């Protein structure tokens, strides 16, 4: 588990600020009628405008390479959705945007789920609970805590609201590559797992389903959906651990 140096952290701040600014600008384009392909292309342009590179594009698992610039996942899609002209966003949908960029050799990773137009109260609650679960998880990313403290805080809060946490996908360390140790599950036990030290950069990312936690992957080989067809939400930040407590790095740059 790598501990970032002061110089590494300077670069991580840059990459994370770009990832967050791209995400903030992309959000403004979400409305009924836009396609998920449009969102992908807007993100591609924004990323290039900051002199950064999509860490998703060409990302390889086995023999497959991810063919898009961000992940756009609608309704029952949990993560890794691929933008397509065939997918038009409609009033009442929820859409997850996950932006991961590389800048100067460092990676920033962040995501959120947002309403398209007006959404049902149950979906509003799903979004609120998932975002709050992320905040509670981040609050546990304290020096001398363990990764299980982050996991347990997320799981307990989500399950107390009757939702479920996805088990097949986890948060992760992030830095010089998109996925570094440690794994950060959204379920687990307090006091378990690796100890948190100062200078870790962690992508904490609860994925929360309205129904059951089981998943399946679509025939495109990437899009992960809920097995029961229920809606799913995802919020993610890249966080730096410090002796003064966790610091969220994926904060948009003003102006
Ligand atoms: N951004 C994702 C994460 O949070 C990973 C993207 S996978 C890719 O870990 F296939 F889209 F690249
Ligand atoms: Co991500
Ligand atoms: Co991530």
Determine, yes or no, domain membership for 1: no
Residue 115 has pLDDT above 60, yes or no: yes
DSSP 8-state assignment for residue 178? S
Tokens read off for 236:
């993610």
| Res 41: pLDDT | 98
Total domains, the chain: 1
Ligand nearest to the CA of 111: 2
Determine, yes or no, domain membership for 115: yes
| 69 close to ligand 1 (CB < 6 Angstrom) | no
Short-list 81, 114, 93, CA closest to 223 = 81
Residue 254 binned pLDDT confidence (cut-offs 50, 70, 90): confident
Query: Is-contact 73 79, C-beta < 8 A?
Result: yes
**Cis preceding-peptide flag for 182 (omega within 30 of 0):** yes
pLDDT tens digit string along 193-209?
A: 999 999 999 999 999 99
pLDDT tens digit string along 164-179?
A: 999 999 999 999 999 9
Residue 53 has pLDDT above 80, yes or no: yes
Average pLDDT value for residue range 212-218: 98
| 71 close to ligand 1 (CB < 6 Angstrom) | yes
**Spatial distance between the Cα atoms of 171 and 206, rounded to a whole number of angstroms:** 8
Identify the H or E element spanning 23: helix 6-27
Report the nearest atom of ligand 1 relative to the CA of 172: 9
**Spatial distance between the Cα atoms of 154 and 185, rounded to a whole number of angstroms:** 9
**Spatial distance between the Cα atoms of 154 and 186, rounded to a whole number of angstroms:** 6
The protein residue with its alpha carbon nearest to ligand 1, atom 4, reads 109
CATH number at residue 104: 3.90.230.10
**Three-class SS string for 232-246?**
EEECEEEEECCCCCC
| Res 11: pLDDT | 98
Determine, yes or no, domain membership for 255: no
Tokens read off for 239:
């966080």
Tokens read off for 130:
């998932």
- The CA angle 19-183-61, to the nearest 5 degrees, is 70
| Res 127: pLDDT | 98
Query: Is-contact 79 66, C-beta < 8 A?
Result: no
The CB density around residue 86, as the number of other CB atoms within 10 Å, is 8
DSSP per position, 35-67? BHHHHHHHHHHHHHHTT-EESSTT-EETTEE--
Q: How far is the CA of 68 from the centre of ligand 1 (A)?
A: 10
| 40 close to ligand 1 (CB < 6 Angstrom) | no
Range of the domain at 83: 6-248
Phi, psi of 195 (to 5 degrees): -80, 140
Average pLDDT value for residue range 121-147: 98
Query: Is-contact 237 134, C-beta < 8 A?
Result: yes
| Res 153: pLDDT | 98
| Res 255: pLDDT | 57
| 180 close to ligand 1 (CB < 6 Angstrom) | no
Query: Which of 44, 59, 174 has most ligand 1 atoms within 8 Å of CB, for mutation?
Result: 59
| Res 204: pLDDT | 99
Determine, yes or no, domain membership for 157: yes
Query: Is-contact 122 94, C-beta < 8 A?
Result: no
Average pLDDT value for residue range 35-43: 98
| 205 close to ligand 1 (CB < 6 Angstrom) | yes
Report the nearest atom of ligand 1 relative to the CA of 169: 9
Q: What is the dihedral of CA 78, 35, 42, 80, to 10 degrees?
A: 20
Determine, yes or no, domain membership for 97: yes
| 80 close to ligand 1 (CB < 6 Angstrom) | yes
| 164 close to ligand 1 (CB < 6 Angstrom) | no
3-state DSSP percent of the chain in helix, strand and coil, to 5: 25, 25, 45
106 forms beta bridges with: 103
């Amino acid at each position: 588990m790598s501990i970032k140096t002061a110089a590494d952290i300077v670069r991580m701040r840059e990459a994370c600020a770009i990832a967050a600014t791209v995400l903030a600008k992309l959000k403004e384009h979400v409305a009924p009628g836009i396609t998920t392909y449009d969102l992908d292309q807007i993100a591609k342009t924004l990323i290039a405008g900051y002199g950064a590179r999509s860490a998703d594009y060409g990302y390889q698992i086995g023999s497959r390479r991810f063919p898009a610039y961000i992940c756009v996942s609608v309704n029952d899609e949990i993560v890794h959705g691929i933008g397509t002209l065939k997918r038009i966003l409609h009033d009442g949908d929820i859409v997850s945007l996950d932006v991961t960029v590389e800048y100067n050799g460092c990676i920033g990773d962040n995501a959120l789920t947002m309403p398209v137009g007006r959404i049902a109260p149950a979906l509003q609650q799903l979004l609120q609970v998932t975002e709050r679960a992320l905040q509670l998880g981040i609050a546990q990313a304290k020096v001398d805590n363990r990764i299980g403290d982050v996991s347990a805080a997320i799981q307990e809060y989500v399950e107390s609201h009757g939702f479920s946490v996805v088990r097949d996908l986890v948060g992760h360390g992030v830095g010089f590559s998109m996925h570094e140790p440690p794994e950060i599950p959204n379920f687990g036990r307090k006091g378990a797992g690796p100890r948190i030290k100062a200078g870790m950069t962690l992508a904490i990312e609860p994925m929360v389903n309205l129904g059951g936690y089981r998943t399946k992957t679509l025939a495109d080989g990437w899009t992960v959906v809920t097995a029961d067809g229920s809606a799913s939400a995802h919020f993610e930040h890249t966080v730096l651990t410090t002796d003064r407590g966790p610091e969220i790095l994926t904060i948009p740059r003003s102006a």
